[in-house]
Structure 1
Amino acid sequence: MARVPYLNDDDLAADDKELLARPINLFRALANSPEGLRRLQGVGGWIRFGCELDPRHRELAILQVGYLTATAYEWSHHVKIGQDFGVTEQDIRSLIAVTEGKDTGGHFSSEDHAILASARELTSSRALTDDTAAALKTFLSDARLVDLVIVISYYNSVVRVLGGLQIDIEDGYQPYLREYPLGHS
């Protein structure tokens, strides 16, 4: 159960109603602080629609954060969003296998592995290793490397917001958890 009420647009001032154009539970909880939600949505909107990082790579990085942190809300939402941006069922299953140390199929390219490694490293140790940074620099410009670090860092922040406020997963996202369960603790 969430630690703050889930607001609806009729709970908000006229100037804040647009904050719930997408009335997911995360936004409904954050609407208790309209300006905070507005700022977070600004960064999130840039990540999804303005960032020039390859959309599939972006979503793989976000999914890696969600899986590694065992954040069911983030994971389920980005399984759906990732599929909208080119992430395949095999990508999701391979990400799980890589994270669990069971990858035997070699589904991912060297670029994909570098993206996933960067998300794991920034999530677990808050830094990139020199090897991962060098691998990323073989296919990312300096600007796209900065974008990737921003994306991973932002979603590490989001998972902490989700946990801190105990945001509930909407019923419509439960099937993604059943299809691709979080298998570790």
Structure 2
Amino acid sequence: MARVRYLDREDLAPEYQDMPRMKSNITRALANSPRGARHVAGTGMYLRHESSLNPRLRELAILQVGYSTGSEYEYAHHIDVALSFGVSETDILAIAADSAGQACTLEPLARAVLQAAREMTEQLSLSDATFTVLNDALDAESLIDLLIAIGEYNGMVRIMAALQIDLEPEFMTYLERFPLPIRTE
């Protein structure tokens, strides 16, 4: 159960009742700070609808953050988003293989994106080798947008964990189809 109350649209002051995505538990929790929620949503909407970064690569990076952190909420929600932006089921399954150092069917740039997301998630940095691959393949704007996406979603998984956000039941099937690694901690 979440550590803060999930708000509904009618719980908000009139100037915030147009808040998008008020059906998702993370938005309903963040709505306890409506101005903050609006800023978070703004970054997400920029990345999803205005960024020059290829949407498939963006979603692969976000999925890798969710996978690496074991964030059921982030991972399941972004499987839903990723499938609508051209990420295939084979791509999603490849995240587990690539994370385990196994062969997968992803092209080199997609594998470099996953590597960047793992490095920034697990080591808080980006190796010169990974940066070079990305820098050679992406223009500067797309590269920066990729790093913003990885950083943004690393922040979000931490907020979700701190608030103990509940995954909505309709997203549970994604975890069954694309399981997260079993945590031993």
CA RMSD, Structure 1 to Structure 2 (Å): 1.0
1:51 aligns with 2:51: yes
Q: Is the 8 A contact 1:19 1:38 kept in 2?
A: yes
Aligned to 2:163: 165
Aligned to 2:116: 118
1:138 aligns with 2:128: no
Q: Which amino acid aligns with 1:56?
A: R
Q: Which amino acid aligns with 2:152?
A: Y
Pairing of 1:10-49 with structure 2 (within 5 A): 10-49=10-49
Match for 1:182 among 166, 180, 183?
Answer: 180
Q: Is the 8 A contact 1:8 1:20 kept in 2?
A: no
SS of the counterpart of 2:7?
coil
Aligned to 1:80: 80
Question: How big is the shift at 1:22?
Answer: 4.0
Question: How big is the shift at 1:184?
Answer: 3.0
Unaligned runs of 5+ in 1: none
- CA distance in 2 between partners of 1:98 and 1:63 (Å): 12
Paired residues in the alignment total 183
Question: How big is the shift at 1:20?
Answer: 4.4
Aligned to 1:108: 106
Q: Is the 8 A contact 1:123 1:156 kept in 2?
A: yes
Q: Which runs of 4+ in 1 moved over 3 A?
A: none
Aligned to 2:66: 66
TM-score, structure 1 normalization: 0.96
- Could you tell me the percent identity over the aligned residues? 42
Question: How big is the shift at 1:37?
Answer: 0.1
Q: Which amino acid aligns with 2:113?
A: I
Question: How big is the shift at 1:8?
Answer: 0.4
- CA distance in 2 between partners of 1:14 and 1:111 (Å): 45
SS of the counterpart of 2:17?
helix
Aligned to 2:150: 152
Question: How big is the shift at 1:121?
Answer: 0.6
Unaligned runs of 5+ in 2: none
Question: How big is the shift at 1:21?
Answer: 4.2
Q: Is the 8 A contact 2:21 2:27 kept in 1?
A: no
- CA distance in 2 between partners of 1:12 and 1:50 (Å): 27
